[in-house]
Amino acid sequence: MNSDLPKVLHQVAAAPLLHHALATAQALEPSRIVTVTGHAGGAVAASATAFNEAVETVVQNPQLGTAHAVAQAAPILADAEGEAIVLYADTPLIGEETLRQMLDARSRHAVVILGFHARDPGRYGRLLTDGDELLAIREFKDASPEERAITLCNSGVVCAGAKTLFSLIAEVKNDNAAQEYYLTDIVELARSRGLSAGVVLCDEAETLGVNTRHQLAEAEAAFQTRARTDALENGVTLTAPETVFFALDTHIGRDAIIGPNVFFGLGVTVESGAEIKGFCHLEGCHISRGATVGPFARLRPGAELAEDVHVGNFVEIKNAILDEGVKVGHLTYIGDATVGAHTNIGAGTVTCNYDGVMKHRTVIGKRAFIGSDTMLVAPVTVGDGALTGSGSVITEDVPAEAVAIGRARQVTKVGLATRMFEKLKSIQAEKAKGH
Protein backbone atom coordinates (compact mmCIF):
# COMPACT_ATOMS: atom_id res chain seq x y z
CA MET A 1 0.00 0.00 0.00
CA ASN A 2 3.03 2.29 0.36
CA SER A 3 1.49 3.76 3.51
CA ASP A 4 2.11 4.32 7.20
CA LEU A 5 -1.47 3.19 7.83
CA PRO A 6 -2.12 -0.55 8.36
CA LYS A 7 -3.62 -2.00 5.20
CA VAL A 8 -6.89 -3.08 6.83
CA LEU A 9 -7.54 0.46 8.10
CA HIS A 10 -7.63 1.94 4.60
CA GLN A 11 -11.20 2.84 3.73
CA VAL A 12 -13.84 1.68 1.31
CA ALA A 13 -17.27 3.32 1.49
CA ALA A 14 -16.12 5.62 4.32
CA ALA A 15 -15.22 2.67 6.58
CA PRO A 16 -12.01 0.71 7.20
CA LEU A 17 -11.67 -2.56 5.28
CA LEU A 18 -11.73 -4.28 8.67
CA HIS A 19 -15.22 -2.93 9.38
CA HIS A 20 -16.58 -4.49 6.19
CA ALA A 21 -15.52 -7.94 7.35
CA LEU A 22 -16.87 -7.25 10.84
CA ALA A 23 -20.20 -5.99 9.46
CA THR A 24 -20.63 -9.14 7.36
CA ALA A 25 -19.80 -11.30 10.37
CA GLN A 26 -22.14 -9.35 12.63
CA ALA A 27 -25.02 -9.81 10.18
CA LEU A 28 -24.96 -13.52 11.05
CA GLU A 29 -25.60 -12.65 14.73
CA PRO A 30 -22.67 -14.70 16.05
CA SER A 31 -22.18 -15.29 19.73
CA ARG A 32 -18.59 -14.03 19.52
CA ILE A 33 -16.28 -12.26 17.07
CA VAL A 34 -12.51 -12.49 17.44
CA THR A 35 -10.08 -10.32 15.49
CA VAL A 36 -6.52 -11.58 15.07
CA THR A 37 -4.06 -8.69 14.76
CA GLY A 38 -0.51 -8.55 13.47
CA HIS A 39 1.22 -5.49 12.02
CA ALA A 40 0.24 -2.31 13.94
CA GLY A 41 -2.00 -4.51 16.04
CA GLY A 42 -2.84 -1.80 18.56
CA ALA A 43 -4.43 0.44 15.94
CA VAL A 44 -6.25 -2.49 14.34
CA ALA A 45 -7.59 -3.68 17.70
CA ALA A 46 -8.78 -0.17 18.55
CA SER A 47 -10.61 0.01 15.22
CA ALA A 48 -12.25 -3.37 15.85
CA THR A 49 -13.58 -2.37 19.25
CA ALA A 50 -14.67 1.01 17.87
CA PHE A 51 -16.90 -0.92 15.47
CA ASN A 52 -18.29 -3.05 18.30
CA GLU A 53 -16.90 -3.02 21.81
CA ALA A 54 -17.84 -6.70 22.18
CA VAL A 55 -15.26 -7.74 19.55
CA GLU A 56 -12.39 -9.63 21.15
CA THR A 57 -8.82 -9.33 19.88
CA VAL A 58 -5.77 -11.59 20.00
CA VAL A 59 -2.25 -10.99 18.70
CA GLN A 60 -0.31 -13.10 16.20
CA ASN A 61 3.39 -12.54 16.87
CA PRO A 62 5.40 -13.77 15.10
CA GLN A 63 3.31 -14.15 11.93
CA LEU A 64 3.77 -17.69 10.69
CA GLY A 65 0.89 -18.17 8.28
CA THR A 66 -2.91 -18.35 8.14
CA ALA A 67 -3.35 -21.49 10.25
CA HIS A 68 -1.03 -20.00 12.87
CA ALA A 69 -3.16 -16.82 12.84
CA VAL A 70 -6.40 -18.69 13.45
CA ALA A 71 -4.71 -20.77 16.14
CA GLN A 72 -4.18 -17.62 18.22
CA ALA A 73 -7.95 -17.57 18.82
CA ALA A 74 -8.03 -21.17 20.04
CA PRO A 75 -7.34 -20.45 23.74
CA ILE A 76 -10.19 -17.97 24.16
CA LEU A 77 -12.57 -20.10 22.06
CA ALA A 78 -11.69 -23.41 23.72
CA ASP A 79 -15.26 -23.89 24.95
CA ALA A 80 -16.97 -22.56 21.81
CA GLU A 81 -19.77 -24.68 20.36
CA GLY A 82 -21.37 -24.53 16.94
CA GLU A 83 -19.95 -23.08 13.75
CA ALA A 84 -16.83 -21.02 13.12
CA ILE A 85 -16.15 -18.90 10.04
CA VAL A 86 -12.76 -17.46 9.13
CA LEU A 87 -12.88 -14.12 7.28
CA TYR A 88 -10.16 -11.74 6.07
CA ALA A 89 -10.07 -8.03 6.82
CA ASP A 90 -8.55 -7.23 3.42
CA THR A 91 -11.40 -8.96 1.54
CA PRO A 92 -14.26 -6.48 2.06
CA LEU A 93 -16.89 -7.62 -0.45
CA ILE A 94 -17.84 -11.07 0.87
CA GLY A 95 -21.62 -11.01 1.33
CA GLU A 96 -23.88 -12.25 4.10
CA GLU A 97 -25.81 -14.52 1.72
CA THR A 98 -22.60 -16.25 0.66
CA LEU A 99 -21.74 -17.03 4.28
CA ARG A 100 -25.24 -18.37 4.86
CA GLN A 101 -24.76 -20.71 1.90
CA MET A 102 -21.58 -21.96 3.54
CA LEU A 103 -23.42 -22.57 6.80
CA ASP A 104 -26.09 -24.51 4.90
CA ALA A 105 -23.38 -26.62 3.23
CA ARG A 106 -22.13 -27.67 6.66
CA SER A 107 -25.02 -30.16 6.76
CA ARG A 108 -23.15 -32.09 4.02
CA HIS A 109 -19.50 -31.40 4.82
CA ALA A 110 -17.35 -31.10 7.94
CA VAL A 111 -15.25 -28.38 6.28
CA VAL A 112 -16.57 -25.90 3.70
CA ILE A 113 -14.32 -23.68 1.58
CA LEU A 114 -15.43 -20.64 -0.41
CA GLY A 115 -14.18 -20.90 -3.97
CA PHE A 116 -14.48 -19.03 -7.27
CA HIS A 117 -13.56 -19.45 -10.90
CA ALA A 118 -10.84 -16.93 -11.76
CA ARG A 119 -10.39 -15.36 -15.18
CA ASP A 120 -6.68 -15.14 -14.40
CA PRO A 121 -5.87 -17.57 -11.54
CA GLY A 122 -2.43 -16.05 -11.00
CA ARG A 123 -0.98 -16.97 -7.61
CA TYR A 124 -4.24 -18.07 -5.97
CA GLY A 125 -4.36 -21.44 -4.28
CA ARG A 126 -6.10 -24.06 -6.46
CA LEU A 127 -9.03 -26.23 -5.33
CA LEU A 128 -8.58 -29.89 -6.25
CA THR A 129 -11.97 -31.60 -6.50
CA ASP A 130 -13.57 -34.90 -7.36
CA GLY A 131 -17.22 -34.25 -8.16
CA ASP A 132 -18.78 -32.58 -5.11
CA GLU A 133 -15.84 -33.46 -2.88
CA LEU A 134 -12.92 -31.14 -2.20
CA LEU A 135 -9.76 -33.24 -2.10
CA ALA A 136 -7.15 -30.59 -1.30
CA ILE A 137 -6.11 -26.96 -1.65
CA ARG A 138 -2.78 -26.52 -3.32
CA GLU A 139 -0.91 -23.27 -2.70
CA PHE A 140 0.53 -21.79 -5.88
CA LYS A 141 4.10 -22.13 -4.64
CA ASP A 142 3.61 -25.86 -4.18
CA ALA A 143 1.39 -26.59 -7.18
CA SER A 144 2.42 -28.65 -10.20
CA PRO A 145 2.03 -27.23 -13.73
CA GLU A 146 -1.14 -29.31 -14.16
CA GLU A 147 -2.58 -27.99 -10.89
CA ARG A 148 -1.70 -24.40 -11.81
CA ALA A 149 -3.85 -24.80 -14.94
CA ILE A 150 -6.96 -25.20 -12.73
CA THR A 151 -9.17 -22.08 -12.62
CA LEU A 152 -11.13 -23.04 -9.49
CA CYS A 153 -9.44 -20.99 -6.78
CA ASN A 154 -9.46 -20.59 -3.02
CA SER A 155 -10.81 -17.40 -1.43
CA GLY A 156 -9.41 -18.31 1.99
CA VAL A 157 -12.83 -18.19 3.70
CA VAL A 158 -13.49 -21.32 5.76
CA CYS A 159 -16.52 -22.66 7.62
CA ALA A 160 -16.34 -25.61 10.02
CA GLY A 161 -17.43 -26.68 13.45
CA ALA A 162 -15.39 -24.68 15.95
CA LYS A 163 -13.98 -27.69 17.75
CA THR A 164 -13.20 -29.46 14.47
CA LEU A 165 -11.49 -26.35 13.08
CA PHE A 166 -9.11 -25.91 16.01
CA SER A 167 -8.45 -29.64 16.24
CA LEU A 168 -7.41 -29.74 12.57
CA ILE A 169 -5.28 -26.60 12.88
CA ALA A 170 -3.37 -28.19 15.74
CA GLU A 171 -2.10 -30.83 13.27
CA VAL A 172 -0.98 -28.41 10.53
CA LYS A 173 2.76 -28.57 9.72
CA ASN A 174 4.98 -26.02 8.00
CA ASP A 175 6.76 -28.41 5.61
CA ASN A 176 6.12 -26.31 2.50
CA ALA A 177 8.00 -23.88 0.26
CA ALA A 178 7.23 -20.87 2.47
CA GLN A 179 7.70 -22.74 5.77
CA GLU A 180 4.37 -21.36 6.95
CA TYR A 181 1.37 -23.00 8.62
CA TYR A 182 -1.31 -22.99 5.92
CA LEU A 183 -4.96 -22.96 6.91
CA THR A 184 -5.63 -24.67 3.58
CA ASP A 185 -3.96 -27.88 4.85
CA ILE A 186 -6.99 -28.63 7.02
CA VAL A 187 -8.81 -30.03 3.98
CA GLU A 188 -6.43 -32.94 3.52
CA LEU A 189 -6.20 -33.40 7.30
CA ALA A 190 -9.99 -33.61 7.50
CA ARG A 191 -10.13 -36.19 4.73
CA SER A 192 -7.46 -38.25 6.46
CA ARG A 193 -9.89 -38.50 9.38
CA GLY A 194 -12.68 -39.59 7.08
CA LEU A 195 -14.38 -36.20 7.19
CA SER A 196 -15.94 -34.63 4.11
CA ALA A 197 -14.85 -31.29 2.62
CA GLY A 198 -16.85 -29.28 0.11
CA VAL A 199 -16.88 -26.03 -1.87
CA VAL A 200 -19.41 -23.19 -2.09
CA LEU A 201 -18.93 -20.98 -5.13
CA CYS A 202 -19.32 -17.21 -5.39
CA ASP A 203 -18.59 -14.66 -8.09
CA GLU A 204 -14.93 -13.73 -8.44
CA ALA A 205 -15.71 -10.05 -7.81
CA GLU A 206 -16.92 -10.90 -4.31
CA THR A 207 -13.52 -12.28 -3.36
CA LEU A 208 -11.49 -9.22 -4.37
CA GLY A 209 -8.55 -8.85 -2.01
CA VAL A 210 -6.95 -5.48 -1.36
CA ASN A 211 -3.16 -5.35 -1.44
CA THR A 212 -2.55 -2.19 -3.50
CA ARG A 213 -4.04 1.27 -3.94
CA HIS A 214 -5.31 0.13 -7.33
CA GLN A 215 -7.20 -2.76 -5.73
CA LEU A 216 -8.52 -0.39 -3.06
CA ALA A 217 -10.02 1.74 -5.84
CA GLU A 218 -11.44 -1.40 -7.47
CA ALA A 219 -13.07 -2.40 -4.17
CA GLU A 220 -14.58 1.07 -3.78
CA ALA A 221 -16.01 0.93 -7.30
CA ALA A 222 -17.40 -2.56 -6.76
CA PHE A 223 -19.00 -1.60 -3.46
CA GLN A 224 -20.61 1.52 -4.94
CA THR A 225 -21.95 -0.39 -7.95
CA ARG A 226 -23.56 -2.94 -5.66
CA ALA A 227 -24.93 -0.30 -3.27
CA ARG A 228 -26.46 1.70 -6.14
CA THR A 229 -28.06 -1.41 -7.60
CA ASP A 230 -29.50 -2.38 -4.23
CA ALA A 231 -30.91 1.13 -3.71
CA LEU A 232 -32.62 1.16 -7.10
CA GLU A 233 -34.05 -2.32 -6.59
CA ASN A 234 -35.37 -1.27 -3.16
CA GLY A 235 -37.39 1.60 -4.61
CA VAL A 236 -35.00 4.53 -4.24
CA THR A 237 -34.76 7.02 -7.08
CA LEU A 238 -31.19 7.90 -8.06
CA THR A 239 -31.29 10.53 -10.79
CA ALA A 240 -27.59 10.03 -11.62
CA PRO A 241 -26.59 6.76 -9.93
CA GLU A 242 -22.96 6.82 -10.99
CA THR A 243 -22.40 10.10 -9.09
CA VAL A 244 -23.87 9.01 -5.72
CA PHE A 245 -21.49 7.56 -3.14
CA PHE A 246 -22.79 5.43 -0.26
CA ALA A 247 -21.15 4.47 3.04
CA LEU A 248 -21.00 1.00 4.51
CA ASP A 249 -24.06 1.60 6.72
CA THR A 250 -26.22 3.97 4.63
CA HIS A 251 -29.97 3.28 5.00
CA ILE A 252 -32.46 4.82 2.56
CA GLY A 253 -36.22 4.16 2.51
CA ARG A 254 -38.28 3.47 -0.58
CA ASP A 255 -39.58 6.41 -2.62
CA ALA A 256 -36.72 8.59 -1.39
CA ILE A 257 -35.15 10.69 -4.14
CA ILE A 258 -31.39 11.19 -4.29
CA GLY A 259 -30.06 13.81 -6.70
CA PRO A 260 -26.69 13.87 -8.44
CA ASN A 261 -23.32 14.13 -6.70
CA VAL A 262 -24.55 13.26 -3.21
CA PHE A 263 -21.99 11.83 -0.76
CA PHE A 264 -23.03 9.73 2.23
CA GLY A 265 -20.64 9.36 5.15
CA LEU A 266 -21.17 6.88 7.96
CA GLY A 267 -24.30 6.87 10.07
CA VAL A 268 -26.91 8.28 7.68
CA THR A 269 -30.57 7.23 7.59
CA VAL A 270 -32.98 8.71 5.05
CA GLU A 271 -36.62 7.81 5.56
CA SER A 272 -39.13 7.00 2.83
CA GLY A 273 -40.28 9.95 0.76
CA ALA A 274 -37.45 12.31 1.69
CA GLU A 275 -35.49 14.09 -1.02
CA ILE A 276 -31.77 14.84 -1.07
CA LYS A 277 -30.99 17.27 -3.87
CA GLY A 278 -27.69 17.49 -5.72
CA PHE A 279 -24.23 18.15 -4.30
CA CYS A 280 -25.05 17.42 -0.65
CA HIS A 281 -22.64 15.92 1.90
CA LEU A 282 -24.27 13.91 4.71
CA GLU A 283 -22.80 12.09 7.68
CA GLY A 284 -24.10 10.93 11.06
CA CYS A 285 -27.60 12.31 10.49
CA HIS A 286 -31.25 11.27 10.32
CA ILE A 287 -33.65 12.66 7.72
CA SER A 288 -37.35 11.96 8.23
CA ARG A 289 -40.19 11.39 5.81
CA GLY A 290 -41.08 14.33 3.60
CA ALA A 291 -37.95 16.34 4.41
CA THR A 292 -35.94 18.02 1.65
CA VAL A 293 -32.24 18.77 1.78
CA GLY A 294 -30.14 20.84 -0.59
CA PRO A 295 -28.84 21.43 -3.08
CA PHE A 296 -25.36 22.13 -1.76
CA ALA A 297 -26.19 21.39 1.89
CA ARG A 298 -24.07 19.73 4.53
CA LEU A 299 -25.48 17.68 7.41
CA ARG A 300 -22.91 16.75 10.04
CA PRO A 301 -23.07 14.24 12.91
CA GLY A 302 -25.99 14.75 15.25
CA ALA A 303 -28.25 16.46 12.72
CA GLU A 304 -31.84 15.26 13.21
CA LEU A 305 -34.46 16.43 10.71
CA ALA A 306 -38.11 15.71 11.54
CA GLU A 307 -40.87 15.29 8.97
CA ASP A 308 -41.31 17.99 6.32
CA VAL A 309 -38.22 19.94 7.34
CA HIS A 310 -36.64 21.98 4.56
CA VAL A 311 -32.89 22.58 4.53
CA GLY A 312 -31.83 24.60 1.52
CA ASN A 313 -28.67 25.55 -0.34
CA PHE A 314 -25.43 26.34 1.47
CA VAL A 315 -26.86 25.39 4.85
CA GLU A 316 -24.84 23.43 7.42
CA ILE A 317 -26.49 21.58 10.32
CA LYS A 318 -24.45 19.99 13.12
CA ASN A 319 -25.61 18.34 16.36
CA ALA A 320 -29.00 20.00 16.04
CA ILE A 321 -32.63 18.85 16.18
CA LEU A 322 -35.03 20.46 13.72
CA ASP A 323 -38.65 19.68 14.58
CA GLU A 324 -41.48 19.18 12.11
CA GLY A 325 -41.88 21.75 9.36
CA VAL A 326 -38.81 23.86 10.18
CA LYS A 327 -37.48 25.84 7.23
CA VAL A 328 -33.80 26.78 6.90
CA GLY A 329 -33.66 28.07 3.36
CA HIS A 330 -30.13 29.20 2.65
CA LEU A 331 -26.71 30.43 3.74
CA THR A 332 -27.04 29.42 7.39
CA TYR A 333 -25.19 27.50 10.10
CA ILE A 334 -27.19 25.75 12.83
CA GLY A 335 -24.95 23.97 15.33
CA ASP A 336 -25.64 22.63 18.83
CA ALA A 337 -29.27 23.73 18.68
CA THR A 338 -32.89 22.70 19.02
CA VAL A 339 -35.38 24.36 16.69
CA GLY A 340 -39.12 24.04 17.39
CA ALA A 341 -41.79 23.02 14.92
CA HIS A 342 -42.68 25.33 12.01
CA THR A 343 -40.00 27.88 12.83
CA ASN A 344 -38.47 29.83 9.94
CA ILE A 345 -34.74 30.56 9.95
CA GLY A 346 -33.73 33.49 7.73
CA ALA A 347 -30.74 33.61 5.39
CA GLY A 348 -27.34 34.17 6.94
CA THR A 349 -28.35 33.08 10.45
CA VAL A 350 -25.58 31.65 12.64
CA THR A 351 -25.81 29.93 16.00
CA CYS A 352 -22.57 31.10 17.60
CA ASN A 353 -21.97 27.91 19.58
CA TYR A 354 -18.23 27.93 20.35
CA ASP A 355 -16.42 30.28 22.70
CA GLY A 356 -12.97 28.94 21.89
CA VAL A 357 -13.06 26.36 24.70
CA MET A 358 -16.58 25.02 25.12
CA LYS A 359 -19.67 24.45 22.97
CA HIS A 360 -22.98 26.05 23.99
CA ARG A 361 -26.55 25.33 22.91
CA THR A 362 -29.19 27.49 21.26
CA VAL A 363 -32.87 26.70 21.84
CA ILE A 364 -35.49 28.18 19.51
CA GLY A 365 -39.18 27.58 20.19
CA LYS A 366 -42.11 26.74 17.94
CA ARG A 367 -43.38 29.06 15.18
CA ALA A 368 -40.55 31.53 15.76
CA PHE A 369 -39.22 33.77 13.00
CA ILE A 370 -35.48 34.36 12.95
CA GLY A 371 -34.69 37.33 10.73
CA SER A 372 -31.95 37.18 8.12
CA ASP A 373 -28.39 37.68 9.33
CA THR A 374 -29.24 37.01 12.98
CA MET A 375 -26.30 36.00 15.19
CA LEU A 376 -27.56 33.85 18.08
CA VAL A 377 -24.79 33.91 20.70
CA ALA A 378 -25.20 30.72 22.74
CA PRO A 379 -26.23 29.82 25.31
CA VAL A 380 -29.46 31.57 24.39
CA THR A 381 -33.17 30.75 24.13
CA VAL A 382 -35.74 32.23 21.78
CA GLY A 383 -39.31 31.53 22.90
CA ASP A 384 -42.34 30.23 20.97
CA GLY A 385 -43.66 32.69 18.42
CA ALA A 386 -40.83 35.16 18.96
CA LEU A 387 -39.18 37.22 16.23
CA THR A 388 -35.67 38.57 15.80
CA GLY A 389 -34.96 41.58 13.62
CA SER A 390 -32.71 41.17 10.59
CA GLY A 391 -29.06 41.85 11.33
CA SER A 392 -29.48 41.36 15.07
CA VAL A 393 -26.93 39.97 17.50
CA ILE A 394 -28.96 38.15 20.15
CA THR A 395 -27.06 37.69 23.41
CA GLU A 396 -29.99 37.47 25.84
CA ASP A 397 -33.00 35.15 26.02
CA VAL A 398 -36.04 36.28 24.04
CA PRO A 399 -39.44 35.62 25.70
CA ALA A 400 -42.27 33.93 23.81
CA GLU A 401 -44.01 36.16 21.25
CA ALA A 402 -41.50 38.99 21.80
CA VAL A 403 -39.56 40.92 19.19
CA ALA A 404 -35.80 41.21 19.76
CA ILE A 405 -33.66 43.72 17.89
CA GLY A 406 -29.96 43.87 18.69
CA ARG A 407 -28.21 46.15 16.21
CA ALA A 408 -26.70 49.64 16.07
CA ARG A 409 -29.08 52.49 15.20
CA GLN A 410 -28.72 53.62 11.58
CA VAL A 411 -27.31 57.11 11.03
CA THR A 412 -27.80 58.76 7.59
CA LYS A 413 -25.52 61.62 6.44
CA VAL A 414 -27.20 63.36 3.50
CA GLY A 415 -24.80 64.12 0.61
CA LEU A 416 -21.76 62.67 2.41
CA ALA A 417 -21.25 59.86 -0.11
CA THR A 418 -20.65 62.29 -2.99
CA ARG A 419 -18.18 64.36 -1.00
CA MET A 420 -16.27 61.26 0.15
CA PHE A 421 -15.97 59.87 -3.38
CA GLU A 422 -14.74 63.23 -4.70
CA LYS A 423 -12.09 63.40 -1.97
CA LEU A 424 -10.92 59.85 -2.64
CA LYS A 425 -10.68 60.49 -6.40
CA SER A 426 -8.60 63.60 -5.69
CA ILE A 427 -6.18 61.62 -3.51
CA GLN A 428 -5.92 58.97 -6.23
CA ALA A 429 -5.14 61.61 -8.87
CA GLU A 430 -2.39 63.16 -6.72
CA LYS A 431 -0.78 59.74 -6.27
CA ALA A 432 -0.90 59.14 -10.03
CA LYS A 433 0.96 62.41 -10.65
CA GLY A 434 3.68 61.35 -8.21
CA HIS A 435 4.42 58.29 -10.39
**Residue whose C-alpha is closest to residue 285's, from 309, 257, 255, 261:** 309
Residues known to be catalytic: 330
Q: Contact at 8 Å (CB) between 129 and 199?
A: yes
Q: How far is 36 from 21, CA to CA, in rounded Å?
A: 12
Could you tell me how many helices (H) and strands (E) the chain has, helices first? 9, 32
Q: How far is CA 367 from CA 221, 304, 317, 326, 382, in A?
A: 45, 18, 19, 9, 11
Q: How far is 174 from 376, CA to CA, in rounded Å?
A: 69
Q: Contact at 8 Å (CB) between 66 and 139?
A: no
What DSSP letter does each residue of 200-247 carry, written as one string? EE--GGGG----SHHHHHHHHHHHHHHHHHHHHHTT-EESSGGG-B--
Q: How far is 383 from 127, CA to CA, in rounded Å?
A: 71
Q: How far is 376 from 399, CA to CA, in rounded Å?
A: 14
Q: Is the peptide bond before 399 cis (omega within 30 degrees of 0)?
A: no
- The single-letter DSSP state of residue 378 is S
Q: How far is CA 201 from CA 86, 98, 125, 258, 381, in A?
A: 16, 8, 15, 35, 61
